[in-house]
């Protein structure tokens, strides 16, 4: 199978030249990571992999490149990479149909690797009963990041809150200190993330896996838990400042960094913004789970392997997999990317307080839920986003109307 005939693609995308004939130990790595933190984190894996005598050949297509060259296009064009970054289970099912999938179940189990993954990671990397992905990074879709100086000024201690009621109960005190209690970015995708974050945090098993699944439970759409979720979304929207509509997430984060607001509840990639501003966890900012959380929505970034290759190449691909999930490599990658490691047996002292909080939570398997993007039908996720954003944007819209709209969307998608 051809794995390195990338000359025409290289010219079109202006990437570095790739040899026409790669030795068995040369692997083409296809990814879309391009920010300084992402590239720095990738270099942790690259250095460790190349230290074993292999060669990493980069095929990078940044998210904003505008190039329409997906993994399947590379494969059907006769130029598949060896390794690729992809979390979508549908891609792995497509590869299996083309006899190009590569299970990692036996490989990880035979090296006592699988047992060290949190339950949510194991679920995220498993496709139709087989481990098909190399877990690379753990991100939590919604955590509380707060400005410690602002908290002291307002006389509140976010780490002491045990429920959202307690958190909201301090909002008057925070406002009296002249700052916004809760900074929110009012874009559809941010409201969508807040929706599933709160579904997990407020209700755990009672709602999250019933709504976010291959085939959702229609009865859960009109449940006490869904009505409670809608009530909290309305309270969230009403607590937002006037600049909330259509505000980017990183602009919102900067409001907290600069002391205009106390906190933001969003993905833990916020840590990268704090770090870029020269701020340190535990010193300048704190990071905690949503008070009283019953679950965390967990995003697991992952690599995949192109199977169907000769044994020498497969051996190198498997060594790549082992390198990525090595405890030291996983911790080093996470420290730079701003994520958390994929193993529970990493040296916790090497992690910052935010990642330590994540790892301690994920040691409790009942609290880890896989992000909807790895579980649910894409049309259904989009439908939820649309309905919830309409509800968020229109204060006259009732919970009954939102539930009715969700039921109609369900019937249109699932019949």
**In sequence order, which residues have a C-beta less than 8 Å from that of residue 170 and are 6 or more positions away?**
154, 156, 161, 181
In a domain? residue 320: yes
Asked if 278 and 165 sit in the same domain, the reply is yes
Asked if 94 and 177 sit in the same domain, the reply is no
Cα distances from 263 to residues 116, 170, 199, 233, in angstroms, run: 33, 12, 20, 17
Asked if 152 and 286 sit in the same domain, the reply is yes
pTM for this one? 0.85
pLDDT score of 158: 98
Asked if 255 and 399 sit in the same domain, the reply is yes
In a domain? residue 1: no
For the stretch 152-175, what's the b/e string if a residue is b when 16 or more beta carbons lie within 10 angstroms of its beta carbon?
A: eebebebeebeebeebbebbeebe
Name, of 60-69, 149-158, 303-312, 343-352, the range with top average pLDDT: 149-158
Q: What is the pLDDT of residues 91-139, one digit of tens each?
A: 999 999 999 999 999 999 999 999 999 999 999 999 999 999 999 999 9
Among 320, 340, 360, residue at a domain's last position? 360
In a domain? residue 365: no
In a domain? residue 153: yes
Task: Residue 160: name the closest of 286, 298, 255 by CA.
Answer: 286
In a domain? residue 11: yes
pLDDT bracket for residue 62 (50, 70, 90): low
Q: Say what the alpha-carbon torsion angle 42, 43, 44, 50 is, to the nearest 10 degrees.
A: 110
pLDDT bracket for residue 399 (50, 70, 90): very high
204: left (phi over 0), alpha (psi -120 to 50) or beta: left
**Domain total for the chain?**
2
Asked if 353 and 383 sit in the same domain, the reply is no
Asked if 352 and 259 sit in the same domain, the reply is no
Q: Which two tokens mark 367?
A: 């609290």
Asked if 281 and 177 sit in the same domain, the reply is yes
Among 339, 360, 381, residue at a domain's last position? 360
Asked if 221 and 258 sit in the same domain, the reply is yes
Asked if 290 and 332 sit in the same domain, the reply is no
Candidate from 8-17, 269-278, 323-332 with smallest mean pLDDT:
8-17
Asked if 203 and 351 sit in the same domain, the reply is no
Q: What is the pLDDT of residues 279-297, one digit of tens each?
A: 999 999 999 999 999 999 9
pLDDT score of 374: 86
Q: Which two tokens mark 315?
A: 């051996």
Residue in this structure with the two tokens 């692997």, named with its chain if needed: 27
The DSSP code for 206 is G
In a domain? residue 102: yes
Asked if 252 and 194 sit in the same domain, the reply is yes
In a domain? residue 2: no
Is pLDDT above 70 for 188?
Answer: yes
Residue 323, domain extent = 7-139+301-360
In a domain? residue 221: yes
- Tally of helices (H runs) and strands (E runs) in the chain: 20, 12
Helix (H, G, I), strand (E, B) or coil at 302: strand
Domain containing residue 120: CATH number: 3.40.190.10
Asked if 401 and 258 sit in the same domain, the reply is yes
């Amino acid at each position: 199978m051809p794995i390195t005939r990338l000359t025409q693609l290289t010219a079109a995308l202006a990437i570095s030249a790739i040899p026409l004939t790669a030795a068995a130990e040369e692997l083409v790595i296809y990814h879309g990571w391009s920010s300084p933190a992402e590239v720095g984190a990738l270099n942790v894996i690259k250095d460790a992999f190349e230290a074993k005598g292999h060669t990493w050949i980069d095929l990078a297509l940044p998210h904003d490149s505008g190039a329409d060259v997906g993994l399947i296009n590379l494969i059907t064009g006769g130029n598949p990479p060896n390794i690729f970054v992809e979390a979508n289970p549908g891609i792995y099912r497509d590869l299996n149909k083309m006899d190009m999938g590569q299970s990692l179940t036996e490989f990880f189990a035979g090296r006592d690797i699988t047992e060290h993954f949190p339950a949510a990671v194991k679920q995220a990397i498993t496709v139709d009963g087989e481990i098909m992905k190399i877990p690379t990074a753990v991100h939590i879709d919604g955590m509380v990041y707060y400005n410690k100086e602002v908290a002291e000024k307002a006389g509140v201690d976010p780490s002491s809150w045990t429920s959202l009621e307690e958190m909201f109960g301090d909002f008057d005190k925070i406002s009296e200190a002249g700052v916004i209690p809760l900074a929110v970015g009012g874009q559809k995708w941010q409201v969508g993330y807040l929706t599933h974050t709160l579904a997990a945090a407020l209700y755990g098993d009672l709602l999250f896996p019933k709504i976010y699944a291959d085939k959702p439970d229609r009865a859960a759409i009109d449940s006490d838990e869904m009505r409670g979720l809608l009530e909290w979304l309305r309270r969230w929207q009403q607590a937002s400042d006037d600049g909330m509509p259509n505000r980017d997430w990183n602009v919102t984060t900067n409001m907290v960094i600069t002391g205009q607001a106390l906190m933001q509840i969003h993905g833990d990639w916020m840590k990268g913004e704090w770090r870029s501003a020269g701020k340190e966890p535990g010193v300048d900012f704190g990071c905690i789970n949503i008070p009283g959380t019953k679950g965390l929505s967990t995003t697991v970034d992952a690599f995949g392997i192109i199977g169907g290759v000769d044994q020498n190449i497969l051996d190198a691909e498997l060594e790549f997999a082992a390198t990525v999930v090595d405890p030291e490599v996983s911790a080093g990658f996470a420290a730079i990317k701003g994520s958390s490691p994929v193993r529970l047996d990493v040296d916790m002292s090497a992690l910052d307080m935010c990642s330590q909080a994540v790892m301690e939570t994920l040691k409790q398997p009942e609290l880890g839920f896989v992000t909807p993007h790895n579980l649910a039908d894409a049309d259904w996720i989009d439908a939820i986003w649309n309905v919830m954003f309409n509800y968020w944007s229109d204060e006259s819209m009732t919970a009954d109307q939102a539930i009715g709209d969700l039921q109609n969307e369900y019937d249109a998608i699932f019949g």
